[in-house]
């Protein structure tokens, strides 16, 4: 009996915290983020209803069928019911999987419809490096043999390549607002993960692979990027920021930095 | 010598079962202690604790825990719980003890192999714990041991040297032991059933152990192979998991041609079925206990058996849902997603059937029954969050957040442990000839039930806020500045819930020596372990309760029609 009330109490507390608690997503800053939230909310309503129904039913059965010396009904099952709940859950659950495909595809499969600003991303234990082509619009050649962190060359830029001279290297990532950005994600040592909560995207950076990731941030601001794949003892400190700027500010920053690096 | 043969190197399945349970008790106690230290560190990362320095002179110099020590505690916590608790207790422990009794077999099919399996597991445990005492300490890469972090050696971090080798050897030994156990269980079920014990007359517990053994046989071989490849990458200069051009601490590594993602495929091909290795025996126990204490047959016995098979089969086709954001083909994510959500269907069938079993029953709330009912509640709560994580679109945000931690602790950890508590309260009279104290069992259940929700629900909210898992502290993340209250609440709930377990252990050890003597069949159950003669002939299914016209509200399996 007590169990029924405890189950109901916990259900009520969970519902309350979900509906009214202060712990929630940050506001999205991209169209993808808004679509993610919409899908999440739909899912939350449906699974929430199942959750409440199942816990209520469990509690109800506990109260209703508590032993009062009654004789239990002898039933070995009901094939019609089995068929009903099997097909109902199959349709519902597989429907979930299919419904969310569009959101996934928009991040990883759809072709870009406009030219994207390309940024080279290189992660290492325990810092981030972002590389932009300078005014020449070209990324310079790199080779692992030139990598040297103490002289500030984490990418291994080849000094002899003229295109490398004006490359801009930054430890934070700056992007212009309302512009499609394509990151080329690479890691130099172990697996890391690029995660921006407000964009609702997350992607591993795997040594030996270059993984593209596109997004379009639609709100200026500064957003935290916590490494989200265990990368060693400094994992919890591997953090950078995404700075979404106006187009003018971004261009000015890039030109200034380009001058500095030359 | 005789004493040694009877109590230590025994080939008796009952002794081996108890040995497995003792090993699981030790591991779970240690695993909980490690988690409490971790939870403490998360709310007081700068605390100076004298005995930390005593235990870990290098990991906690001056008593302040280093991040690498935190991560190594986390790695050993996960490894202990997944392998040495959730894999040993349900199958090696209760399975060994009760499978032969329930199907009327004199022992397991291969008693010597059975003994060997236990002692190999024991050796695996010693090897794992040795990692704490070698140079650099225990590994810090988590129980999933992703390369390159796990493949590069000491240069990738303390604990990644000899400690990591200990971990791999331990897991390899554990895999070998599990393979031996699996062969034994499968043969026993197929070959050793008493007369009249058709497969479809077996208790669902036996189905659980049988199907778990099949999964183990297919999954542990892959883990063993993966472990050996990783060991070779580390010590023999191969490059299965290591690509060219790795630069660690400014040093170019001499490897080329491998893929870090290959490990993830191999690991999760084992790792996902492992979840079902942990939970299927529990599902069998819960089905049985609900039926006994509702005085009703299992609702949809056949559907329950088919659902277990479906879970096992689908379980082998969904490993990719751990890898949605790993860099594997985004097309395969869609396939894995559909198959993953499809696992929800047999899981839902089982839940409906559990509700169907208690519906219209005559419910007796013994501690075993309470834990079985608690299992259903927790299984629903932990299962539904799986519907979120099974979708790549949602995983784009939730992967490796505390939402995942909350999810798998609920569905894999708490649910399986609840089933083990249920099994222990249920079978204690058979195992020890005495009764555990029921009121204490009630108190233990209610407080634990409240406690586990209090620990793991806040983790879901942390995950929704985006908190990454495997962080030794969150000071640097500004967006979690307001989440301190969740962390504190979780930590204190963990202290509370761990303390409550002392009630169980006290009850258990007291009852073992001083508990009142048990009757032969205290729960008035129908299956063979509760009847006195050996190898009886079986005449009916395992769950004949409240049969109209019968003399009592249960008819035992060996009773003639």
Pairwise CA distance, residues B159 & B59, whole Å: 10
Judge whether A75 lies within some domain: no
* A102 and A122 part of one domain: no
Distance from CA of B234 to the nearest CA of A (A): 14
Q: Is A54 on the interface with B (CB under 8 A)?
A: yes
pLDDT above 80: residue A260: no
pLDDT above 90: residue B560: no
Which residue of A78, A224, A228 is in closest CB contact with B478?
A: A224
Residue-wise pLDDT for B196-247, tens only, equals: 999 999 999 999 999 999 999 999 999 999 999 999 999 999 999 999 999 9
User: How many other C-beta atoms are found inside a 10 Å radius of the C-beta of residue B187?
Assistant: 15
Token code pair at residue B416: 């399986």
- In b/e form, how buried is each residue of A13-44, taking b as 16+ CB within 10 angstroms? ebeeebeeeebebeebbbebbebbeebbeebe
pLDDT (0 to 100) of residue A261? 66
pLDDT (0 to 100) of residue A257? 87
> CB-based contacts of A255: which residues, under 8 Å, 6+ apart?
A135
* A152 and A99 part of one domain: no
Which residue of A6, A67, A78 is in closest CB contact with B363?
A: A67
Helices and strands in chain A, H and E counts: 5, 10
Interface of A with B in 104-123 (CB under 8 A): 104-105, 107-109
* A170 and A92 part of one domain: no
* A160 and A89 part of one domain: no
Question: What is the CATH classification number for the domain harbouring A147?
Answer: 2.60.40.420
Pairwise CA distance, residues B381 & B439, whole Å: 27
**How many structural domains are present in chain A?**
2
Judge whether A77 lies within some domain: no
Residue-wise pLDDT for B417-433, tens only, equals: 999 999 999 999 999 99
Test B303 with A203 for CB contact under 8 angstroms.
no
pLDDT (0 to 100) of residue B534? 67
By three-state DSSP, how is residue A176 classified? strand
Pairwise CA distance, residues B439 & A162, whole Å: 81
Residues of B in contact with A207 (CB under 8 A): 148, 242-243, 245-246, 260
Question: Which stretch of A71-80, B299-308, B356-365 has the lowest confidence by average pLDDT?
Answer: A71-80
CATH topology for B15-241+256-530 is: Cytochrome C Oxidase; Chain A (1.20.210)
Considering only alpha carbons, which residue of chain A is nearest residue B478?
A224
Distance from CA of A19 to the nearest CA of B (A): 12
By three-state DSSP, how is residue B247 classified? strand
Which residue of A43, A51, A204 is in closest CB contact with B326?
A: A204
Highest mean pLDDT among A109-118, B249-258, B447-456: B447-456
Judge whether A210 lies within some domain: yes
pLDDT (0 to 100) of residue A144? 84
ipTM of the complex in this document = 0.96
pLDDT band at B266 (very low <50, low <70, confident <90, very high): very high
* A253 and A130 part of one domain: yes
> CB-based contacts of B39: which residues, under 8 Å, 6+ apart?
B490, B491, B494, B495
Query: What is the separation, in whole angstroms, between the first and last Cα of chain A?
Result: 76
Q: Which of B397, B402, B546 to mutate to test the interface with A (most CBs of A within 10 A)?
A: B397
Which residue of B327, B338, B548 is in closest CB contact with A206?
A: B327
Beta bridge partners of A127: A124
pLDDT (0 to 100) of residue B183? 98
Test A236 with B387 for CB contact under 8 angstroms.
no
Q: Residues B321, B395: contact at Cβ < 8 Å?
A: yes
pLDDT mean across residues, chain A: 93
Number of Cα atoms under 13 Å in the Cβ half of residue B38: 23
Long-range contacts of A111-118 (CB under 8 A, 24+ apart): A112/A180, A112/A182, A112/A214, A114/A180, A115/A180, A116/A179, A116/A180, A116/A181, A116/A182, A116/A214, A117/A175, A117/A176, A117/A179, A117/A180, A117/A181, A117/A182, A118/A181, A118/A182, A118/A184
Residues of A in contact with B376 (CB under 8 A): 58
pLDDT (0 to 100) of residue A2? 87
Distance from CA of A245 to the nearest CA of B (A): 20
pLDDT (0 to 100) of residue A262? 57
Q: Residues B230, B150: contact at Cβ < 8 Å?
A: yes
Residues of B in contact with A197 (CB under 8 A): 397, 465-466, 479
Residue-wise pLDDT for A33-71, tens only, equals: 999 999 999 999 999 999 999 999 999 999 999 999 899
Q: Are strands A180-187 and A173-176 parallel, antiparallel or unpaired?
A: unpaired
Give me the percent of chain A exceeding a pLDDT of 90.
Answer: 75
Residue-wise pLDDT for B363-412, tens only, equals: 999 999 999 999 999 999 999 999 999 999 999 999 999 999 999 999 99
Work out how many CB contacts closer than 8 A connect A with B.
333
Considering only alpha carbons, which residue of chain B is nearest residue A6?
B450
* A137 and A205 part of one domain: yes
* A217 and A198 part of one domain: yes
* A14 and A124 part of one domain: no
By three-state DSSP, how is residue A198 classified? helix
Residues of A in contact with B155 (CB under 8 A): none
pTM of the model: 0.96
pLDDT (0 to 100) of residue B550? 87
Q: Which of B138, B157, B346, B468 to mutate to test the interface with A (most CBs of A within 10 A)?
A: B468
Distance from CA of A223 to the nearest CA of B (A): 9
* A189 and A255 part of one domain: yes
pLDDT band at B99 (very low <50, low <70, confident <90, very high): very high
Residues of A in contact with B449 (CB under 8 A): 3, 6
Residue-wise pLDDT for B283-338, tens only, equals: 999 999 999 999 999 999 999 999 999 999 999 999 999 999 999 999 999 999 99
Give me the domain span that covers residue A232: 117-261
* A130 and A255 part of one domain: yes
Test B352 with A17 for CB contact under 8 angstroms.
no
Give me the percent of chain B exceeding a pLDDT of 90.
Answer: 93
Which residue of B327, B461, B468 is in closest CB contact with A204?
A: B327
Which residue of B387, B393, B470 is in closest CB contact with A230?
A: B470
Test B341 with A96 for CB contact under 8 angstroms.
yes
Q: Which of A122, A235, A242 to mutate to test the interface with B (most CBs of B within 10 A)?
A: A235
Which residue of A10, A101, A145 is in closest CB contact with B453?
A: A10
Distance from CA of A15 to the nearest CA of B (A): 11
Determine the average pLDDT of the residues in B499-517. Answer: 97
Q: Is A26 on the interface with B (CB under 8 A)?
A: yes
pLDDT above 90: residue A166: no
* A103 and A121 part of one domain: no
Residues of B in contact with A236 (CB under 8 A): 67, 471-474, 476
Residue-wise pLDDT for A11-28, tens only, equals: 999 999 999 989 999 999
* A125 and A57 part of one domain: no
pLDDT mean across residues, chain B: 96
């Amino acid at each position: 009996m007590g169990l029924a009330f405890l189950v109901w109490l916990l259900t009520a507390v969970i519902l309350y915290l979900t509906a009214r608690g202060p712990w929630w997503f940050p506001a999205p800053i991209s169209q993808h983020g808004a679509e993610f939230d919409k899908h999440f909310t739909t899912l939350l309503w449906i699974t929430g209803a199942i959750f409440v129904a199942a816990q209520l039913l469990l509690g109800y059965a506990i109260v209703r069928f508590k032993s009062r010396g009654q004789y239990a009904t002898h039933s070995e099952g009901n094939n019609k019911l089995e068929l009903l709940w099997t097909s109902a859950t199959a349709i519902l659950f597989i429907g979930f999987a299919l419904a969310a495909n569009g959101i996934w595809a928009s991040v990883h499969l759809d072709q870009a419809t406009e030219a994207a600003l390309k940024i080279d991303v290189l992660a290492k234990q325990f810092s981030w490096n972002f590389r932009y082509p300078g005014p020449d619009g070209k990324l310079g050649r790199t080779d692992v043999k030139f990598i040297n962190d103490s002289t500030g060359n984490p990418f291994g830029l080849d000094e002899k390549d003229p295109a490398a001279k004006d490359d801009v290297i930054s430890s934070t990532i700056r992007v212009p607002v309302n512009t499609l950005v394509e990151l080329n994600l690479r890691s130099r040592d172990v697996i890391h993960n690029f995660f921006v909560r407000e964009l609702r995207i997350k992607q591993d950076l795997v040594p030996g692979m270059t993984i593209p990731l596109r997004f379009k941030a639609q709100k200026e601001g500064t957003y935290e990027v916590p490494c989200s794949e265990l990368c060693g003892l400094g994992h919890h400190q591997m953090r950078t920021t995404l700075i979404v700027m106006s187009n003018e500010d971004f261009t000015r920053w890039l030109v200034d930095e380009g001058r500095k690096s030359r | 010598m005789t004493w040694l043969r009877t109590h230590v190197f025994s080939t008796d399945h009952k002794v081996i079962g108890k040995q497995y349970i003792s090993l699981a008790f030790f591991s779970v106690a240690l695993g909980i202690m490690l988690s409490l230290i971790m939870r403490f560190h998360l709310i007081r990362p700068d605390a100076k604790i004298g005995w930390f320095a005593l235990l870990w002179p290098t990991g906690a110099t001056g008593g302040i825990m280093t991040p690498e020590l935190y991560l190594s505690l986390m790695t050993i916590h996960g490894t202990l719980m997944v392998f040495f608790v959730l894999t040993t207790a349900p199958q090696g422990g209760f399975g060994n003890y009760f499978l032969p009794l329930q199907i009327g077999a004199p022992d397991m099919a291969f008693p010597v192999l059975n003994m060997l399996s236990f002692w190999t597991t024991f050796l695996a445990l010693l090897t794992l714990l040795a990692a704490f005492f070698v140079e650099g300490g225990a590994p810090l890469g988590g129980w999933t041991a992703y390369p390159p972090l796990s493949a590069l050696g000491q240069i990738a971090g303390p604990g990644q040297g000899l400690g990591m080798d200990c971990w791999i050897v331990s897991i390899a030994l554990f895999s070998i032991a599990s393979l031996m156990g699996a062969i034994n269980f499968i043969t026993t079920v197929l070959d050793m059933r008493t007369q009249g014990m058709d497969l479809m007359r077996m208790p669902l517990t036996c189905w659980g152990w049988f199907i778990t053994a099949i999964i183990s046989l297919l999954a542990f071989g892959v883990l063993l192979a993966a472990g050996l490849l990783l060991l070779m990458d580390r010590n023999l200069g191969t490059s299965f998991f290591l690509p060219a051009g790795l630069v660690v601490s400014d040093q170019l590594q001499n490897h080329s041609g491998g893929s870090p993602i290959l490990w993830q495929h191999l690991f999760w091909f084992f790792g996902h079925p492992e979840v079902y290795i942990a939970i299927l025996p529990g599902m069998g126990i819960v089905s049985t206990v609900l039926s006994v204490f509702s005085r009703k047959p299992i609702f949809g016995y056949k559907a329950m058996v088919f659902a277990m098979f479906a879970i096992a089969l689908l379980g082998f086709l969904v490993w990719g849902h751990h890898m949605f954001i790993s860099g594997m083909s985004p097309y395969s994510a869609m396939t894995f997603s559909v198959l993953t959500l499809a696992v929800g269907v047999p899981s839902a069938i089982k839940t409906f059937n559990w509700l169907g079993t208690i519906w219209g029953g005559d419910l007796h709330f013994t501690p075993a029954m309470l834990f079985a009912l608690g299992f259903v509640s927790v299984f629903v709560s932990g299962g539904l969050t799986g519907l979120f994580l099974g979708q790549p679109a949602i995983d784009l945000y939730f992967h490796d957040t505390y939402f995942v931690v909350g999810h798998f602790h609920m569905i894999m950890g708490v649910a399986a442990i609840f089933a083990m508590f249920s099994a222990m309260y249920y079978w204690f009279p058979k195992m020890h000839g005495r009764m555990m104290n029921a009121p204490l069992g009630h108190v233990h259940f209610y407080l634990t039930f409240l406690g586990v929700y209090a620990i793991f629900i806040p983790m879901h909210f942390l995950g929704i806020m985006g908190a990454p898992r495997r962080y030794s502290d969150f000071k640097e993340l500004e967006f979690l500045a307001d989440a301190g209250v969740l962390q504190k609440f979780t930590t204190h709930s963990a202290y509370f819930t761990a303390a409550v377990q002392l009630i169980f252990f006290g009850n258990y050890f007291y009852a073992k020596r001083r508990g009142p003597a048990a009757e032969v069949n205290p729960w008035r159950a129908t299956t063979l372990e509760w009847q006195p003669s050996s190898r009886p002939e079986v005449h009916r299914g395992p769950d004949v309760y409240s049969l109209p016209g019968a003399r009592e509200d249960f008819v035992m399996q060996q009773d003639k029609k």
